[in-house]
């Protein structure tokens, strides 16, 4: 097989991410009809969102460790089988109790997609390509956010909500077929990988002074004694709520601020995620290009993370005063562009600092920290937006420099050695 097989791997993971977003958004799109049939209301939906996010946070850490133990191939198989069964089982729901249990199962299992992608990135890509590979993966999340609402609405129009849940569950099993066929092993033993590409992946990591795919594999307790781990966790704790603010609340913002109905929301709400997709690809490409031009990993990653933050902060402040819906969604597109520029590089830091040995675990616990920050913000939104969404946008702007400071506190971005504890690299 020609050189470039590693891009097929990350491409498959990006498709899994699109499916992930379709599955998680299906309930939101069809909630009016689901609620009518099972006798639920808006407060019940808020409870379901909280259940999903809490178990999603737990799932990040659980699956981070699972991926480090069973590997990328089996880890993804377990994650997508469980989440596909969970979403398909939504078709059988008759009560809030059962729906709550299924949302918990969906949250735990869908969380595996993120530490799994970070693990695959560390395993299949040399340091100079990791941020761009992460960008391709994250573009799947943006694309999923763009296509999920119209796709679910179309399916619902033809077959109703119960059958729609079954169909979206089938998507995951269809993805699993090429995954188990293509991902036969890691790059050190994959039979389809050319000698040149194998050397490019494994040799480049060694030449850069980094560990091989196995890498330094600290226990969870040892991992938490490294300030680098806390830098990633705290950086995501402050930054990720900005993404979820718009994923969860954009339709309500457009409705309350501009009086939009469902049709108008559908016409506008997808625009910001085009900006997110562009940021996913360009942020990863830029840091990789800088490394190829001779910049150190430390300088390239931090410069691009800072650039993303510089784009986000003024756009968040301007959104607080946006007077027209077009101006607002264009500013939000800029916010999500900057967010993805920054987050793609932050999400590569576990592999930059720890190689393959602990990347799943660190990606998992940092994902848990991200959801913890998101839950706090989610609980603040109703109280802070009684008259306007401006206060929550200002809060989002304040979170941006806090995240950037956390990343810089982590110290120089270079491989952590077993004898390096909390003093940094």
387 burial class (0-12, 13-18, 19+ CB within 10 angstroms)?
Answer: exposed
Cα–Cα distance, 124 to 392 (Å, whole number) = 39
Which residue shows structure tokens 């069964």? 85
- What pLDDT digit, counting tens, does each position of 327-362 carry? 999 999 999 999 999 998 998 898 888 865 677 788
SS3 (DSSP) at 117: helix
- Beta carbons within 10 angstroms of residue 8's beta carbon: 15
DSSP 8-state assignment for residue 213: S
Reported as a pLDDT band with limits 50, 70 and 90, residue 213 is very low
The pTM of this model reads 0.77
- What pLDDT digit, counting tens, does each position of 71-126 carry? 999 999 999 999 999 999 999 999 999 999 999 999 999 999 988 988 898 889 98
Q: Give me the DSSP letters along 54-72.
A: HHHHHHHHHHHHHHHHH-H
- 183-198 in b/e form (b: 16+ CB < 10 A) is beebbeebeebeeebb
Handedness of CA 205, 207, 211, 214 (dihedral sign): positive
- What pLDDT digit, counting tens, does each position of 26-69 carry? 888 788 788 889 998 867 877 888 899 899 988 988 988 898 88
Does position 263 have pLDDT exceeding 90, yes or no? no
Proportion of the chain above pLDDT 90, given as a percent: 51
The predicted pLDDT at position 31 comes to: 81
292 burial class (0-12, 13-18, 19+ CB within 10 angstroms)?
Answer: exposed
């Amino acid at each position: 097989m020609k050189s470039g097989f590693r891009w097929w791997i990350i491409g498959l993971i990006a498709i899994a991410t699109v499916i992930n977003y379709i599955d998680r958004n299906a309930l939101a799109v069809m909630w009016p009809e689901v609620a009518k049939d099972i006798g639920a209301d808006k407060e019940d939906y808020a409870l379901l969102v909280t259940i999903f996010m809490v178990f999603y946070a737990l799932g990040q850490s659980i699956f981070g460790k699972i991926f480090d133990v069973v590997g990328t191939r089996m880890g993804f198989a377990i994650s997508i089988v469980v989440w596909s069964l969970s979403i398909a089982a939504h078709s059988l729901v008759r009560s809030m109790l059962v729906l709550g249990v299924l949302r918990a199962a969906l949250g735990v299992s869908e969380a595996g997609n993120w530490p799994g992608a970070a693990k695959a990135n560390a395993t299949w890509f040399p340091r100079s390509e990791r941020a761009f590979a992460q960008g391709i993966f994250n573009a799947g999340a943006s694309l999923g956010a763009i296509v999920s609402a119209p796709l679910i609405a179309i399916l619902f129009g033809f077959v109703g909500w119960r059958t729609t849940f079954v169909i979206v569950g089938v998507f995951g099993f269809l993805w699993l077929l090429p995954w188990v066929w293509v991902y036969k092993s890691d790059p050190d033993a994959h039979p389809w990988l050319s000698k040149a590409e194998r050397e490019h992946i494994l040799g480049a990591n060694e030449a850069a002074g980094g560990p091989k795919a196995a890498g330094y594999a600290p226990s969870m307790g040892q991992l938490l004694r490294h300030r680098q781990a806390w830098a990633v966790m705290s950086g995501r704790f402050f930054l990720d709520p900005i993404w979820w603010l718009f994923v969860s609340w954009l339709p309500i913002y457009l409705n309350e601020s501009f009086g939009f109905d469902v049709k108008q929301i559908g016409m506008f709400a997808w625009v910001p995620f085009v900006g997110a997709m562009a940021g996913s690809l360009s942020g990863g490409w830029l840091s990789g290009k800088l490394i190829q031009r001779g910049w150190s990993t430390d300088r390239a990653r931090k410069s691009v993370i800072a650039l993303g933050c510089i784009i986000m902060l003024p756009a968040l402040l301007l959104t607080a005063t946006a007077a027209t819906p077009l101006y607002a969604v264009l500013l939000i597109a800029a916010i999500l562009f900057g967010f993805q520029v920054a987050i793609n590089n932050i999400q590569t830091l576990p592999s930059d600092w720890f190689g393959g040995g602990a990347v799943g675990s660190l990606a998992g616990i940092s994902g848990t920290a991200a959801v913890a920050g998101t839950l706090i913000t989610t609980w603040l939104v109703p109280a802070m937006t009684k008259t306007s969404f401006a206060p929550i946008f200002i809060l989002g702007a304040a979170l941006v420099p806090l995240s950037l400071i956390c990343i810089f506190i982590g110290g120089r971005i270079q491989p952590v050695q077993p004898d390096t504890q909390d003093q940094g690299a």
